[in-house]
Amino acid sequence: MILEFLEANFDRLSGLALLWVVAWIAYFAWRRHKSGPTHPPYTEQDVRFTERFVSGFSHKSLFTRFGGGNNALVVRVLKDALLIEPVAAFKWITPAGFNDLEHYVLKRDILNVEVIPSFGRPRFKIRFRARDGSPRTVELMLRRSQEFQSALNSLAT
């Protein structure tokens, strides 16, 4: 009986499920747009390093350690800060703060950068003070790790 109902109404149920997902994505995008930018504006002259499709995770909780983003982050080293954010698609379809992978860290708030050798790409363990003053740790796996490290070193001066 239930199977017959599902087979008879498969198109309607699929459309309803799709509509539900689109509604949630629209809601998250509206909330993010309403809250405004998460970092101050910058120009291309401020950018010292950019890499898209970076992998990484936060140490904030067990969920964020296992969640993270696989090739879903954009990392920028600016003249006075480090900017970590999701790629545009994920930025607009997930709630703000999801997986704790959206940070604008001023150079004075970076506490420590540790390079951890690993299989494949080296990992960067970055400890910093968040906007609320709490210590945070993020691990990033970049393809252009040498360029990132030199950009971070230039940020320190």
Strands 47-58 and 69-78 turn out to be antiparallel
**Mean pLDDT for all residues in the chain:** 89
And the tokens for 54? 């970076």
Nearest CA-CA partner of 109 in 91, 143, 84:
84
In terms of Cα–Cα distance, which of 96, 94, 106, 101 is closest to 131? Answer: 106
pLDDT at 123: 92
What is the model's pLDDT at position 98?
75
Q: How far apart, in whole angstroms, are the C-alpha atoms of residue 140 and residue 116?
A: 10
pLDDT of residue 112: 93
| pLDDT for the residue 118 | 82
Between CA 71 and CA 140, with CA 129 as vertex, the angle to 5 degrees is 20
Count of CB atoms within 10 A of residue 138's CB? 24
pLDDT given for residue 157 in this prediction: 58
Regions of the chain where pLDDT drops below 50: none
Say if CB 114 and CB 120 are below 8 A apart.
no
Q: pLDDT tens digits for 140-149? A: 999 999 999 9
